Amino acid sequence: MPGDFLDSKLLDAELQLALRVADAADAVSLAGFTSRSFSVMRKADKSEVTEIDRNTETAITNILRAERPNHSVFGEEHGIVGPADAKFQWVIDPIDGTSNFVRGVPVWASLIALVHDNMPVLGVVSAPAMRMRWWAHAAGDAFFNGDKIRVSEIDELRRASLSITVNKYWHDIDPDGRLEKLQRGVSRVRGYGDFWQHMLVAQGAVDIAIDSIGLAPYDIAALVPIVQQAGGQCTDRLGVADWRANSLVTSNSLLHTATLAHLPK
């Protein structure tokens, strides 16, 4: 951990800023979601984007640049803004779950992370359409809507609740059906998807979450401090703790090794 930034008072101040930023993001995104008056475009990677995504990121970036001019901001829509050599970088996904947003499904959120020494030390996940918000920093506990949260104590796969998002890339590397075998070996399987499944792990409502392959850093960074400070574990599918990886597995820690052993490599 970056020891010079783990002073709780300093992190508390950054968290208060992040929560204010989340309020501003919610105001833009929720108004757009409620009105349904937006256009949908396709980015180069064929993923959906709306002007609400871009406007939300602009609102976030404007506050962060005004309040922390020595920090940089790395967002999904606008890339890196601010000093390239900044010691602190805010990593932003203005709307995680844009496909849900477009279709009127309320499972979407703004993801706000602060990274120092290449490590996410603070995360806020705000899902205004569900009236849900999670947050944590590296010198404190994890919270959901103001209440402290903790991962589950389930220690056997056969008793575990699993959320999994299987996409084409998983199928491409899994000709032997290892993921299907894993799903048959647990107690309950659901597909909550995107940020939500990992936040449910942090809350102790789900024991394991396996995301799709093809993630970006802004999909992961804000989730890591919340899951970790709740007692959970975050790695990619190979077991490496890397928020810049293209995959994410979270668990209550007790089931992590067993879960990774069942995944295709």
CATH number of 157-261: 3.40.190.80
CATH topology of domain 3-140: Fructose-1,6-Bisphosphatase; Chain A, domain 1 (3.30.540)
> 57-70, pLDDT tens digit by residue?
999 999 999 999 99
Model pLDDT, residue 49: 80
Where do runs of H (alpha helix) occur along the chain? 8-35, 51-67, 98-103, 168-172, 178-185, 194-203, 217-220, 223-229, 256-261
pLDDT the model gives residue 55: 93
Nearest to 247 by CA among 219, 212, 221, 207: 212
Position 77 scores a pLDDT of: 84
Among 119, 142, 139, 134, CA closest to 243: 119
- Ordered by start, the domain boundaries in the chain are 3-140, 157-261
CA–CA–CA angle 254, 260, 265 (5° rounding): 170
The CB-side HSE value for 15 (13 A sphere, CA atoms) comes to 26
For residue 135, what are the β-bridge partners?
124, 143
Spatial separation of the C-alpha atoms in residues 124 and 144, rounded to whole Å: 10
pTM reported for the whole predicted model: 0.94
What is the model's pLDDT at position 179? 95
Parallel, antiparallel or unpaired: strands 119-127 and 109-116 = antiparallel
What tokens were used for 187?
């107690």
Residue pLDDT, tens place only, 139-169: 999 999 999 999 999 999 999 999 999 999 9
Q: What is the pLDDT of residue 45?
A: 65
Query: Average pLDDT, stretch 87-116?
Result: 96
Average pLDDT of the chain is: 94
The neighbouring-strand residues paired with 136 are 123, 142
**Are 114 and 222 spatial neighbours (Cβ–Cβ below 8 Å)?**
no
